[in-house]
Structure 1
């Protein structure tokens, strides 16, 4: 990437950043404003770390000190302070975006709204390319009323499900779907309906089951709990239904199908020796993620692996891996969840590997992974799909925004996504 100098401050132009993204070079493009401002508009592959959180978050989220980092704001005077702070933390390649967000816009490049934008745009691309089947809220309500042979699987985190959920729904977060759906709905005549709060996790969850060859009819709940609410239908609160345990035969069947999906997406499998080889490459950033549920992770995990539930790792990739162009290795003790997660990360353009190792050969660590303390509500962007008090107009505007993401991806032209 070209470096210019202006008043002794290194800068990168919007064209430099675009070139790096197209070449799949490593780059961390960091918006140092608060999340609410970030959500009003940002480049597709930007990640967000507010200035006040740099000391706490930067070393965790950008682990390699030589990573090329470009910081920007929208004229608030935050970017230079952030650059100085990052240099003080030991980062050696820190630059400011020439002209900030205004410079990006004036260069003719796209600005994306909301948070986790490129994962959401990818979800829309998946539906567009694969015609992922879906049912409207009114159709699902009718099936519930008729006591039809259906199973509603909620692909969000358990805490989101517990806050509010579709009636009769069961919590089966993200990557757990491919592992547990056959156990929940063993009869191939049972229709499976996957929901989330909006669209992305419903689409990805439904398409995961289709990709894995589930014999059942599988549909996404179109527009998730937002669509349910806009249809004037009641949500449940405080539900605790979770997927049952899965037996050995079920595990093996899920593993075979998920591995096939990962293979079709071009995912590579590595052993511990190959992982050590990747770790030794100091010129590349490497993220290691255990994609199981937090309780499983905390009960025993491989050394050096962080925790990110598989579905959330796909939904919130910009948060978990803000260095675009980095490598990602995923693992779980069964395999199916890692394979399915990796299949989506590969389609999102990541160099991703599944660790294929005998966990019994290692001394497992216990407890949480040491991630930075959660952010407070200060500066937070209020999602139009969380909680139970959202305005109908904002929910509809959010859906309208998602519908336009496929066209916006095409205009932006840097994504490199593919859909199997």
Structure 2
């Protein structure tokens, strides 16, 4: 029988900064409607794919919960089958937790609440959309730096804005705004990355006046102003003098916060503790730089996104984080924020490890060995198409954007229920983007498929021709939360509600009382 932990005991672990990872075993939709503060979304059907990255130490304490659906028990079994030795269920699930702690909505709440706390304590300066639009129209000596991922910037952006993802700001600002008289305006889609980006530049002691675009592209849209589409402006090449200035500012800030820079000997000593202390190795440079070469064992986690959405990379509270950046300033800036977010964070000296690995992030999960007959190749699926019903297990938005023609979408959380609605005269072919999620959940399909089920080897990425037309939904998709700050088709009511929600996070954070944040003035 799986151990249980009470909500009171769990909150005591958080307050004591002990190691614990808490996973919501439901889909992202229900998670985004209500969850404990430090809970991380990990649907039970994705445990095998994502667990090792989110919780790399097998002896770390793992807590899983749901809201009475039975998903937590399935998640616990999957964690145990992967070798995790300290797995517990949250006693009474979400309803029991609600009696002793706050429930938060939305995603990446820890980072968003922290951003609001930073603004309230540091009085981070900001300008309204109308004020910034007036400056742009007047040709003022000002630059607008977009702190989001380039893909978000490319979708829609403030006129004249330049893409400078968050961790790059303190490194690149002197090349973009060489005059100390230039006003630097930082924007994102909503509030968090604008606040953190602006404060990063202020904390790096740049001579320019800096301000956030209040409420980002949402505020711009709500004020009836037009956004650009498809822009590609990026920061210029880094100058040597500008790099030295960036290092001076970020090093001084990191030193005041007690961020250590590890030489080779200190790094090896940290690695030697990995069986006793969870350790995350994260490369905060751009994904392109990471793919070209990175230090062994490090995962790609671009710095601005790491601060904005820490729970997408790091789940074990109380763990230690080591950051890598061959230019150092991005790691120092990121570490300064993670330290204030409550993580023990250090920076690996660029001289301490060579960037010798190439390609994707390392994963500890061993290759999946499929049983004979469990998979089908793309060529076999094409030639025998009439004998199969194809069922896509991608996230809803991924399926909507591209899927195999004629494929149905099924909710992973309710796979057995959805498959039972299909005709029983054909075999089921499960597909997912890389094939792993399909293979992980094949046994569930085989139980209910009258003619049997197989998984597509290599996934839809190996299949070839995909379409966005004629989506076929076996049930209402609730596996993904539609973020009101991404894309260009959000309603004004949803955007305004999102801003209103962010503005009340500081009060909810104070009422909950488990954060352990420390914003340094």
Q: Which runs of 5+ in 2 are unaligned?
A: 366-392, 398-476
2:122 paired with 1:22? no
Aligned to 1:394: 494
Kindly state the Cα deviation for residue 85 of structure 1 after the two structures are TM-superposed: 1.1
Q: Bigger relative contact order, structure 1 or 2, given CA contacts below 8 A and separation 6+? A: 1
Kindly state the Cα deviation for residue 9 of structure 1 after the two structures are TM-superposed: 2.8
Deviation string 1:259-305 (CA, Å, 9 cap, x unpaired) is 11111122112112212211111111100011000111111111111
Report the Cα distance in structure 2 between the residues aligned to 1:49 and 1:199, rounded to whole angstroms.
Answer: 25
Kindly state the Cα deviation for residue 363 of structure 1 after the two structures are TM-superposed: 5.7
User: What's the secondary structure of 1:29's corresponding residue?
Assistant: strand
Report the Cα distance in structure 2 between the residues aligned to 1:49 and 1:222, rounded to whole angstroms.
Answer: 32
Kindly state the Cα deviation for residue 374 of structure 1 after the two structures are TM-superposed: 8.9
2:199 paired with 1:207? yes
Please, which of 380, 392, 414 is the counterpart of residue 480 of structure 2?
380
Aligned to 1:272: 264
Q: Which moved more, 1:219-228 or 1:257-266?
A: 257-266
User: What's the secondary structure of 2:266's corresponding residue?
Assistant: helix
Kindly state the Cα deviation for residue 376 of structure 1 after the two structures are TM-superposed: 5.5
Aligned to 1:415: 515
Report the Cα distance in structure 1 between the residues aligned to 2:31 and 2:334, rounded to whole angstroms.
Answer: 27
Deviation string 1:19-56 (CA, Å, 9 cap, x unpaired) is 10011000000001111111101111111111111111
Query: Cα distance 1:43–1:159, how it changes in 2: closer, same or farther (>3 A)?
Result: same
User: What's the secondary structure of 1:175's corresponding residue?
Assistant: helix
> If the length of structure 1 is used for normalisation, what is the TM-score?
0.96
Alignment of 1:178-257 (within 5 A): 178-257=170-249
Report the Cα distance in structure 1 between the residues aligned to 2:316 and 2:338, rounded to whole angstroms.
Answer: 14
Report the Cα distance in structure 2 between the residues aligned to 1:374 and 1:154, rounded to whole angstroms.
Answer: 30
Query: Cα distance 1:411–1:340, how it changes in 2: closer, same or farther (>3 A)?
Result: same
Question: Quick check: 2:291–2:358 contact (8 Å CA) kept in 1?
Answer: yes
Query: Cα distance 1:376–1:283, how it changes in 2: closer, same or farther (>3 A)?
Result: farther
Aligned to 2:302: 309
2:41 paired with 1:48? yes
Alignment of 1:6-405 (within 5 A): 8-107=1-100, 109-281=101-273, 282-358=275-351, 362=354, 364-370=356-362, 377=397, 379-405=479-505
Q: Which moved more, 1:262-271 or 1:32-41?
A: 262-271
Deviation string 1:178-215 (CA, Å, 9 cap, x unpaired) is 00011100111110100000000000000000001111
RMSD of the alignment, in Å?
1.4
> If the length of structure 2 is used for normalisation, what is the TM-score?
0.77
Moved over 6 A (4+): 371-374
Question: Quick check: 1:272–1:357 contact (8 Å CA) kept in 2?
Answer: no
Kindly state the Cα deviation for residue 406 of structure 1 after the two structures are TM-superposed: 0.7
Q: Which moved more, 1:55-64 or 1:385-394?
A: 55-64
Aligned to 2:426: none
Aligned to 2:469: none
**Paired positions, count:** 411
Deviation string 1:341-367 (CA, Å, 9 cap, x unpaired) is 0000000000000111416x6361111
User: What's the secondary structure of 2:508's corresponding residue?
Assistant: helix
Report the Cα distance in structure 1 between the residues aligned to 2:144 and 2:94, rounded to whole angstroms.
Answer: 42
Larger radius of gyration: 2
Q: Which runs of 5+ in 1 are unaligned?
A: 1-7
